[in-house]
């Protein structure tokens, strides 16, 4: 007695089990978070080191290389990426996936601490943190006020908005865009300072010593104990003007004698505009592992409370990943419902019995609900890949039930009672059902166990598919027989004669069995021709998606001011205004952005971005078409270089050139950038090759400086404080009721624009104050604006937007360029970004397919206890691949991640169909003694109907996805097209070709058996 017959005799445990599993699944579904893609738990560490005012070349030598050499000794380190800009070094350390994030963080901190004493003393305390927040903002908002000015609104965002949103569960980071920072500026007059013998350094340090609060000491007055506190602060900035500043030697001056005090805002470094109007923007980032939609809902509720408290505040949602994630979730769920409904309708069309249809349809919810429970237990989320796994197995889930119900119906037609028919049918079909399910498990399991980043992506996909398929087997073996017994009737339908379609099919089967060589030759020709089309199918990584918004990033030449950048941003906005489909344009100048993966580049005033919020999808053209129109419009804007896209997969190709020879690296990058412009639809070709920025270089006269007791450190400190102020941590502070303002001492902007004023800056020497020009030479020169390093070598990234071209074609064309072929030996080409991921993906999927094929063969050998007939079953796989290739070529698809998923899925589906044929033919020969020819014809007669039913059901489930109905189906569509093409070819051909292969394999098996018996007889005769 097997499990199925046991459940027929004991239905209550089976029913109770699935009631409990269904409740667990509903609970799990409610707890599952909604995301666009699974969180990548990559062990990554970000190190930030700041030395305000230091040039990139100086930071590379004195800071970056020392820290890189220290962390390079850490175990499990994979790559080091370094970005060096004015005063800032950012190092991204990427570790292998097996490394624990906590261990990586601890070891990296220790490595930085080891070289801390070797770094310049002016380097601020290093920041070492783990990457726990994704690089793309979850939501971007713009906020405006009808009564607050820019400074007040900036503080409102920094204080009220940031504090309110920090209480939202799952919020990882808050970032303001645009706005200003209030500070007290003490603008010193160089002439008055020189007349009084004072330097800007003296004023700044004296203010720091005077304007402060000090605690310490203890008093005992009135038999009670009191603490002592020294309060030497003013209550408002205007009081600072009259403050006497002690200068030493018994001298002092009032601050107003040498400077002008203003309560104003700091030098502007950011600008934010919405449709050309000034606003303040802010980004919110989701912490890993949290539901995007719940975070967005919490943020929206918090902002709504703020607006209710202050109606003058208006908040506008600019962009974010939440809408796309929610749209993908709703679209996938809709596809799931539609696919299930179509599959059920197909079952009813074939069976024409609502009772049998109900039994088959029950397999869908009863298989999917337990899957939700397991997904929650494993910590998965409802994302694009897990929902895709459920969508593609919709047709499969009902397969086992279809086969069993169809077999039960056939036994009922033979005059048996429903109970007896169910017992006999499920017992007869047991091996085939178990074999088909385990085959699918063997196919999907390798995708869940792939290595690398690709494996992290598809872990959730593979396990979701495996759990759903195993749940369908449990339903088929435990519950389907019970439901059949209770729902089906004992009406004995007389066996209907074969229709013309079945008669024609059986004639074709007999024809192929009598012309085996011709049949096999034609099938082989079909496969060879289809494989010959593979080079014609472009290779890609992930199709570009329609997210409802895109980004235009622009960069001006080094030395450009924020006014120049704002002027270019406005020119871009005006140029894009006529482009149809754009709803809002949000401008952010000076904001940071993602560069080289997870590394966040600090903002520069010469850079900025425009976020283009698109209209609803049904009111506009596709995002690809809008982006093409944007590229055309950007050609009319001069003075900057542009890049388009949000940085998602499928948008651009990135190539890294790495070398220690800076001139050769720069020349190679320029040559590659030039040659790439001749390739196809590639556009906005840019590189990170460091541009020369203007510098004022001060070279001390060592002899003269030494005679006057002046050091290079003193010169640098005096010039720095006079032109930009002291370090933020060294500034004197003005304490207000709700915040603390920095008091910055420096010259006025007009003085910084005059080289003569800079030359006359006074330096304190042993003989009093001397002009800077007397101990140093000032000249104009050029230096690197930014330096990038990869694995401790300088590198340049060359980016090109694909513009509809496949990534594989672009890479092939790029490698054939003269700039690559004639590259100097010291320069190395490295594929990164999508190109690196595509190469890893191709290797991972190729290995997964081979592993799956081997696992399927092993499962079939164990189940059939035969090494030969599994080869017959696997013969249908090449026929399915041929159909998939043809379908992709006809529809203009790519060989990318979704289509690879389709190919893996096909391996399991077509194997199921072959198992049904082969298993029945073997059973007919074994139990009824039929000849090979008769057994094959009978197997085709009995199994063609369920094979056609399951195939049509699966095609019906895939059809809405293939047609791209509903939300953005760019990711799911290639998979559905590959599956439908493979199903059509494999079903039509395997019903004819598999019986022919069976005869050859069976003949080979019998021939080897005869040789073995003859060998035994010969040995026995010799003995």
CA angle 796, 797, 800 (to 5 degrees): 145
Question: Which band of pLDDT confidence, cut at 50, 70 and 90, is reported for residue 378?
Answer: confident
pLDDT at 597: 41
Q: Which is more confident, 595 or 746?
A: 746
pLDDT at 1021: 57
Question: Which band of pLDDT confidence, cut at 50, 70 and 90, is reported for residue 591?
Answer: low
Query: For residue 881, is pLDDT > 50?
Result: yes
pLDDT at 835: 63
Query: For residue 753, is pLDDT > 70?
Result: yes
Q: What is the mean pLDDT of the segment spanning 553-565?
A: 83
Q: Which residues pair with 588 in a beta bridge?
A: 272, 609
| Residue 512, C-beta contacts closer than 8 angstroms, at least 6 positions apart | 519, 992, 993, 995, 996
pLDDT at 795: 80
Which pTM does this prediction carry? 0.76
- Cα–Cα distances in angstroms (integers) from residue 202 to residues 255, 384, 439, 709, in the given order: 11, 61, 81, 17
Direct distance between the N- and C-terminal alpha carbons of the chain, in angstroms, rounded to an integer: 47
Q: Are 321 and 588 in contact (CB under 8 A)?
A: no
Q: What is the distance between the alpha carbons of residues 935 and 900, in angstroms, rounded to a whole number?
A: 36
> Cβ-count burial of 769 within 10 angstroms (0-12 exposed, 13-18 middle, 19+ buried)?
middle
Residue 539 has phi, psi (to 5 degrees) of: -95, 140
Most confident of 35-49, 98-112, 537-551, 874-888: 98-112
Query: For residue 517, is pLDDT > 50?
Result: yes
**pLDDT tens-digit series, residues 651-709:** 677 777 887 777 788 788 888 878 877 776 677 777 776 666 777 888 888 888 887 88
Q: How many CA atoms lie within 13 A of 501 on its CB side?
A: 3
Closest-CA residue to 323 (of 300, 350, 342): 300
Query: For residue 810, is pLDDT > 70?
Result: yes
Query: For residue 307, is pLDDT > 60?
Result: yes
Q: What is the distance between the alpha carbons of residues 837 and 90, in angstroms, rounded to a whole number?
A: 24
Q: Are 940 and 995 in contact (CB under 8 A)?
A: yes
Residue 228 has phi, psi (to 5 degrees) of: -105, 135
Q: Are 356 and 302 in contact (CB under 8 A)?
A: no
Count of beta carbons in the 10 Å neighbourhood of residue 999: 17
Count of beta carbons in the 10 Å neighbourhood of residue 48: 16
Q: What is the distance between the alpha carbons of residues 834 and 832, in angstroms, rounded to a whole number?
A: 6
Most confident of 468-472, 987-991, 1006-1010: 468-472
Closest-CA residue to 332 (of 289, 394, 420): 394
Q: What is the distance between the alpha carbons of residues 455 and 63, in angstroms, rounded to a whole number?
A: 36
Place of tokens 């493979």: 982
Q: What is the mean pLDDT of the segment spanning 953-966?
A: 72
Region of 966 on the Ramachandran plot (φ > 0 left; ψ -120 to 50 alpha; else beta): left
Q: What is the mean pLDDT of the segment spanning 251-257?
A: 81
pLDDT at 445: 80
pLDDT at 891: 80
Query: For residue 1009, is pLDDT > 70?
Result: no
pLDDT at 317: 87
Structure tokens at 243: 């403050």
**pLDDT tens-digit series, residues 886-943:** 888 888 777 777 777 778 777 777 777 787 778 778 877 877 777 888 888 888 887 7
Average pLDDT, the chain: 79
**pLDDT tens-digit series, residues 65-113:** 888 888 888 888 888 888 887 778 888 888 887 788 888 888 888 888 8
Place of tokens 């035994």: 1016
**pLDDT tens-digit series, residues 426-448:** 777 777 777 777 877 887 788 77
Question: Which band of pLDDT confidence, cut at 50, 70 and 90, is reported for residue 814?
Answer: confident
Instruction: Give me the torsion for CA of 163, 168, 172, 176, rounded to 10°.
Output: -40
Question: Which band of pLDDT confidence, cut at 50, 70 and 90, is reported for residue 596?
Answer: very low
Count of beta carbons in the 10 Å neighbourhood of residue 1015: 10
Query: For residue 598, is pLDDT > 50?
Result: no
Task: Assign 68 to helix, strand or coil.
Answer: helix
pLDDT at 594: 47
Query: For residue 644, is pLDDT > 80?
Result: no
Percent above pLDDT 90 for the chain: 0
Q: What is the mean pLDDT of the segment spanning 944-948?
A: 78
Structure tokens at 138: 């979850």
Structure tokens at 46: 């970000």
Q: Which is more confident, 176 or 599?
A: 176
pLDDT at 915: 78
Q: What is the mean pLDDT of the segment spanning 991-1008?
A: 80
Question: Which band of pLDDT confidence, cut at 50, 70 and 90, is reported for residue 1?
Answer: very low
**pLDDT tens-digit series, residues 114-173:** 888 888 887 888 888 877 665 677 888 889 888 888 888 888 888 888 888 888 888 878
Ranges 413-417, 562-566, 694-698, 795-799: which has the least confidence: 413-417
Q: What is the mean pLDDT of the segment spanning 457-477?
A: 83
Interstrand relation of 593-594 and 313-320 (parallel, antiparallel or unpaired) = unpaired
pLDDT at 836: 64
Q: What is the distance between the alpha carbons of residues 247 and 240, in angstroms, rounded to a whole number?
A: 16
């Amino acid at each position: 007695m097997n499990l199925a017959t046991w459940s027929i005799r004991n239905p209550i445990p089976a029913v109770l089990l699935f009631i409990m599993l269904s409740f667990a699944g509903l609970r799990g579904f409610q707890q599952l978070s909604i995301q666009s893609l699974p969180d990548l738990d990559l062990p990554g560490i970000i190190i930030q080191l700041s030395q305000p005012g230091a040039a990139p070349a100086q930071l590379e030598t004195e800071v970056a290389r020392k820290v890189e050499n220290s962390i390079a000794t850490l175990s499990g380190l994979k790559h080091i990426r370094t970005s060096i800009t004015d005063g800032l070094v950012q190092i991204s350390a990427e570790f292998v996936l097996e490394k624990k994030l906590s261990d990586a963080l601890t070891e990296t901190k220790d490595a930085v601490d080891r070289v801390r004493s070797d770094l310049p003393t002016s380097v601020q305390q290093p920041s070492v943190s783990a990457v726990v927040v994704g690089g793309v903002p979850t939501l971007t908002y713009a906020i405006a006020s009808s009564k607050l000015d820019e400074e007040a609104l900036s503080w409102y965002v920094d204080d009220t908005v940031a504090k309110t949103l920090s209480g939202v569960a799952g919020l990882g980071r808050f970032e303001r865009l645009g706005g200003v920072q209030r500070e007290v500026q003490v603008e010193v007059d160089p002439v008055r300072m020189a007349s009084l013998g004072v330097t800007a350094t003296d004023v700044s340090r004296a203010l720091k010593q005077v304007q402060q609060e000090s605690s310490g000491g203890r008093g005992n007055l009135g038999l009670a104990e009191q603490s002592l506190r020294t309060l030497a602060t003013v209550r408002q900035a205007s009081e600072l003007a009259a403050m006497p500043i002690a200068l030493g030697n018994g001298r002092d001056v009032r601050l107003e004698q040498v400077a002008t005090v203003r309560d104003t805002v700091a030098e502007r470094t950011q600008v934010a505009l919405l449709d050309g109007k000034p606003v303040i923007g802010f980004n919110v980032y989701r912490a890993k592992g949290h539901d995007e939609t719940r975070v967005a809902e919490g943020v929206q509720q918090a902002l709504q409370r703020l607006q209710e408290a202050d109606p003058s505040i208006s908040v506008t949602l600019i962009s974010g990943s939440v809408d796309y994630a929610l749209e993908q979730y709703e679209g996938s769920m809709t596809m799931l419902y539609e696919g299930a409904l179509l599959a059920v309708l197909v079952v009813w069309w074939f069976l024409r019995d609502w009772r049998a249809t109900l039994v088959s349809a029950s397999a869908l919810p009863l298989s999917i609900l337990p899957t939700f429970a397991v997904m929650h237990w494993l910590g998965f989320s409802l994302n694009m890949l897990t929902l895709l796994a459920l969508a593609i197995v919709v047709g499969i889930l009902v397969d086992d039930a279809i086969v069993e119900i169809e077999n039960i119906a056939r036994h009922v037609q033979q005059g048996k009672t429903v109970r007896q028919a169910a017992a006999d049918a499920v017992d007869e079909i047991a091996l085939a059902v178990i074999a088909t399910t385990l085959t699918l498990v063997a196919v999907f399991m390798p995708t869940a166990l792939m290595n690398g980043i690709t494996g992290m992506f598809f872990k959730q996909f593979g396990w979701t598919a495996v759990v759903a398929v195993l749940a369908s087997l449990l339903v088929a073996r435990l519950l389907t027989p019970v439901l059949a017994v209770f729902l089906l009737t004992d009406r004995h339908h007389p066996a209907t004669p074969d229709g013309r379609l079945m008669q024609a099919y059986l004639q074709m089967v007999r024809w192929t069995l009598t012309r085996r060589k011709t049949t096999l030759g034609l099938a082989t020709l079909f496969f060879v021709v289809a494989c010959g089309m593979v080079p014609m199918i472009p290779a890609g990584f992930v199709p570009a998606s329609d997210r409802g918004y895109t980004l235009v990033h622009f960069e001006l030449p080094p030395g450009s001011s924020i006014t120049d950048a704002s002027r270019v941003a406005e020119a871009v906005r005006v140029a894009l205004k006529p482009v149809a489909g754009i709803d809002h344009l949000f401008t952010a100048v000076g904001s940071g952005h993602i560069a080289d993966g997870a590394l966040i580049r600090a903002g520069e005033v010469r850079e900025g971005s425009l976020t283009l919020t698109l209209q609803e999808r049904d009111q506009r053209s596709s995002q690809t078409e809008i982006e093409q129109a944007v590229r055309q419009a950007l050609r009319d804007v001069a003075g900057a270089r542009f890049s388009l896209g949000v940085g998602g997969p499928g948008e651009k190709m990135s190539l890294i050139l790495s070398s220690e020879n800076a001139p050769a690296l720069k020349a190679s990058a320029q040559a590659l950038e030039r040659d790439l412009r001749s390739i196809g639809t590639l556009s906005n070709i840019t590189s990170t090759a460091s541009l020369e920025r203007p510098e004022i270089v001060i070279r001390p006269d060592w002899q003269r400086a030494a005679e006057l007791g002046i050091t290079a450190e003193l010169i640098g400190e005096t010039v720095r404080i006079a032109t930009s102020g002291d370090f933020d941590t060294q500034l004197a502070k003005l304490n207000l009721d709700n915040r603390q303002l920095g008091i910055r001492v420096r010259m006025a902007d007009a003085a910084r624009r005059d080289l003569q004023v800079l030359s006359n800056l006074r330096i304190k020497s042993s003989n009093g104050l001397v002009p800077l020009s007397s101990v140093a030479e000032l000249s104009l020169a050029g230096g690197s604006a930014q330096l990038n390093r990869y694995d401790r070598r300088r590198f340049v990234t060359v980016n090109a937007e694909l513009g509809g071209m496949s990534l594989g074609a672009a890479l092939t064309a790029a490698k054939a360029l003269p700039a690559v072929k004639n590259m100097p030996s010291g320069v190395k080409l490295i594929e990164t970004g999508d190109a690196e991921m595509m190469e890893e993906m191709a290797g991972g999927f190729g290995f997964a397919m081979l592993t799956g094929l081997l696992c399927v063969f092993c499962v079939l050998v164990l189940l059939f206890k035969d090494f030969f007939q599994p080869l017959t079953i696997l013969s249908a796989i090449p026929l399915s691949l041929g159909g998939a290739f043809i379908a992709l070529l006809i529809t203009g698809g790519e060989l990318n991640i979704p289509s690879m998923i389709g190919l893996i899925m096909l391996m399991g589906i077509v194997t199921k169909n072959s198992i049904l044929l082969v298993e029945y033919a073997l059973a007919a020969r074994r139990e009824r003694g039929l000849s090979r020819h008769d057994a094959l014809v009978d197997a085709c007669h009995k199994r063609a109907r369920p094979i056609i039913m399951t195939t049509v059901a699966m095609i019906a489930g895939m059809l809405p996805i293939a047609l791209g109905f509903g939300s953005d189906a760019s990711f799911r569509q290639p998979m559905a097209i590959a599956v439908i093409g493979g199903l059509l070819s494999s079903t039509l051909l395997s019903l004819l070709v598999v019986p022919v292969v069976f005869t050859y394999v069976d003949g080979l098996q019998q021939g080897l058996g005869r040789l073995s018996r003859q060998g035994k007889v010969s040995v026995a005769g010799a003995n």
